Amino acid sequence: MPPGWHGYPPHRRLTLAGSLTLATLAVGGCFLLPKEEQALAPPLVEPPPIVYRTAAVEVDLIEVNVVVRVTFIYPSQTALQFGDRAGRLAEFGVRLGDTVEAGQILARLDTDGLELDVARQRLRLRRAELALERLEAAGADRFQLQIAGVDVQLEQLQLEELLLELEKATLRSPISGEVMYLTRSNPGEQVGARETIAQVADPRDLSLAYRGPRVAQFSIGATVDVRFEQADYIGEVIMTPGSIPRDADERLRDLVLIRVDAPAGAMRAGQSARIILSVDRREDAVVVPADAVHHYLERRFVYVLEDGLRAERTVEVGLTTATKVEVIDGLSPGEEVVLR
């Protein structure tokens, strides 16, 4: 017991004893709790080396081509009319797309009984001829024979005039070819004088036509490679918008026409082909892949490897295709450029 312990009243002694016990437990508890372990530093990890996708600067051929689809057409077609004669359309002798021979009937006008007039005039002519023969057989004088001869001539002239009118009502093809156009008028409908009824094209006059944004790159006399139905042909540019005559058909004013060296009948109008026009080429150009060249505004640059590190370098470029770029200045063959 501590000194003076008995001097305290009993309830006071219990309070002090409890306080001493709690203090002893508190002090002892500091030594019973586990100590916190010190955190270890993470291990040092070296970053993986940067691996660039590269390509070597090479000396190679580079060629800029225009590759487009074109269509076979007949650039010149013969427009056919009934001339100054107008009337009701009687019939067509052909259909659109038919092949015709020179002189073949394409269409007729209703002649309103002109065929009957021709038949009557043939009879009148024959009667005049018989009258002349009878006078000759009867030994008529020369005046009677001359008068009868004039009658024959008059009837002959009348017949020729009727036949000419009949021919004007008949539309014939002047050439052998293909019917490329027929009027939309139906038989029984009226057609006007000088109205185009049909158009016929000479199948030997078949050309390739191109209309599009690349027309300015074609020039007269340029040679093109033609690919048609798994076969290759050679074509020559024969007309461009800049070479067309002032009085040419308006439909031809924005066209490039190409004549193809191919057998007759190998192609038909409306079919399509692919052509390749070589615009420019360099035999020994310094070239890099197209995805190695970057640009910002007007500047072109590449990334090259120098001592394993990527370095930016400005370049001057020339011919450019979808896969290759010609470098005029800034690179030397054998250097490594970084690809995107």
Largest CA distance in the chain: 202
Distance of alpha carbon 181 from alpha carbon 69, whole angstroms: 24
Q: What is the pLDDT of residues 128-185, one digit of tens each?
A: 999 999 999 999 999 999 999 999 999 999 999 999 988 889 999 999 988 989 999 9
Ramachandran category for residue 194: left, alpha or beta (phi over 0 → left; psi -120 to 50 → alpha): left
Distance of alpha carbon 97 from alpha carbon 270, whole angstroms: 11
Query: Is there a contact between 85 and 163 (Cβ–Cβ < 8 Å)?
Result: no
**Cross-strand partners of 259:** 207, 236
Asked whether residue 26 carries a pLDDT value surpassing 60, the answer given is no
Asked whether residue 34 carries a pLDDT value surpassing 50, the answer given is yes
Residues 6+ apart with CB under 8 A from 240: 215, 218, 219, 220, 256
Outline which parts of the chain fall under CATH 2.40.50.100. Answer: 80-200
Phi, psi of 230 (to 5 degrees): 65, 15
Strands 177-182 and 99-100: antiparallel
250-254, long-range: CB < 8 A, 24+ apart: 252/75, 254/211, 254/215
Write the single-letter amino acid at 122. R
Does the domain spanning 54-62+281-338 belong to CATH 2.40.420.20? yes
CATH architecture of 68-76+204-280: Beta Barrel (2.40)
**Cross-strand partners of 285:** 60
Outline which parts of the chain fall under CATH 2.40.420.20. Answer: 54-62+281-338
Query: Is there a contact between 181 and 196 (Cβ–Cβ < 8 Å)?
Result: yes
Query: Is there a contact between 299 and 314 (Cβ–Cβ < 8 Å)?
Result: yes
Phi, psi of 166 (to 5 degrees): -65, -40
| Residue whose token pair is 């008059």 | 154
For residue 29, the tally of other CB atoms under 10 A from its CB is: 9
What is the model's pLDDT at position 146? 94
Asked whether residue 108 carries a pLDDT value surpassing 50, the answer given is yes
Residue ranges of alpha helices (H) inside 64-141 are 114-138
Query: Is there a contact between 337 and 54 (Cβ–Cβ < 8 Å)?
Result: yes
- Name the percent of the chain lying above pLDDT 90: 63
**Distances from the Cα of 138 to the Cαs of 47, 125, 130, 151, 157, in angstroms?**
134, 20, 12, 18, 26
**Distances from the Cα of 340 to the Cαs of 143, 290, 293, 294, in angstroms?**
110, 10, 9, 9
Report residue 125's pLDDT band, with 50, 70 and 90 as the boundaries: very high
**Distances from the Cα of 257 to the Cαs of 7, 75, 123, 177, in angstroms?**
134, 8, 56, 20
**Cross-strand partners of 60:** 285
Asked whether residue 17 carries a pLDDT value surpassing 60, the answer given is no
CATH architecture of 80-200: Beta Barrel (2.40)
Q: Which is nearest to 320 in space by CA: 296, 276, 285? A: 285
Outline which parts of the chain fall under CATH 2.40.30.170. Answer: 68-76+204-280
Asked whether residue 5 carries a pLDDT value surpassing 50, the answer given is no
What is the model's pLDDT at position 254? 87
Distance of alpha carbon 56 from alpha carbon 336, whole angstroms: 5
Asked whether residue 54 carries a pLDDT value surpassing 80, the answer given is yes
Query: Is there a contact between 317 and 35 (Cβ–Cβ < 8 Å)?
Result: no
